[in-house]
Amino acid sequence: MAHPSERIIAALDFPSRKPALEAAAKLQGIIRWMKIGLELYVAEGNRIVSDIQNLGFSVFLDLKFHDIPNTVAGAVRTAAATGAKMLTVHASGGPVMLAAAQEAAAASSNPPKILAVTVLTSMDAAQLSATGVAASPAEQVKRLAAMAYGSGIRGFVSSPEEVATIRAAHPEATLVIPGIRPAGAATGDQKRIATPASAVAAGADYLVIGRPIMQAADPAAAAQAIVDEIATARS
Ligand code: C5P
């Protein structure tokens, strides 16, 4: 398994380029990955992906594609051309869409890892039922992960609560886990949370961490403390 500094993905949840680049610059040499999500990407487009890569980071482009297979395949090809190394799609787009995403990625000159989002962590049983899904969130996560796996997907994003279940069902999958809070950190709006050490112990490969790093008085020190916590958890 990679060095702990290569297992932390800092979430660049900013509305524009300037604060994002300032935040990333503070973490150079400490961690390897940055996650660019919809807020920043919609504002800045592919330019921000290059900017972050030029600072020496690998980019996880978290745009959660969900459309007809042909459209998703095209979006994956375009996103792969930015050099982003991880991309997200919604598992609920179905087997044909997932296979199209996986095939488009595999055919790229620099294939990114496709990660399927199963059930959004903002969905509870009532929200799921309102969309016509009778299964519990936990059952639905399992079902969608198995379906995505059958379509060739080998990576997943899930909350800390589901990581052990997905890990048990798919031992070789790549698991990317948000909702991480170091002991003593503010939880914010996250509900299903885990510490870095416990998420790694449950089977997480990568931890997505936003506010506990970005809003720390000293982001570099906060990131380094998490790197050290993961190193201790593994030894
Ligand atoms: O600040 P915080 O550590 O909560 O940020 C977590 C990041 O992971 C945010 O970018 C959030 O959108 C993302 N995320 C999440 N839960 C998911 C998927 C993504 O918190 N299920």
Per domain, the residue ranges of the chain are 4-234
User: Is the CB of residue 211 below 6 angstroms from any atom belonging to ligand 1?
Assistant: yes
- The pLDDT assigned to 234 comes to 67
Percent of all residues in the chain with a pLDDT value above 90, rounded to a whole number: 89
Residue 113 annotated as catalytic: no
Q: What architecture is the 4-234 domain classified under in CATH?
A: Alpha-Beta Barrel (3.20)
pLDDT, average across residues 118-132: 92
pTM for this one?
Answer: 0.95
- The pLDDT assigned to 235 comes to 57
Q: What's the CA gap between 48 and 222, in Å, rounded?
A: 24
147-204 pLDDT, tens per residue? 999 999 999 999 999 999 999 999 999 999 999 999 878 888 877 789 999 999 999 9
The protein residue whose alpha carbon is closest to atom 18 in ligand 1 is: 178
Q: What is the mean pLDDT of the chain?
A: 95
Catalytic residue (one of 18, 26, 35, 64) = 64
Q: What's the CA gap between 164 and 170, in Å, rounded?
A: 10
pLDDT, average across residues 89-117: 98
Ligand 1 centroid, distance to 178 Cα (angstroms) = 5
12-38 pLDDT, tens per residue? 999 999 999 999 999 999 999 999 999
pLDDT, average across residues 112-129: 93
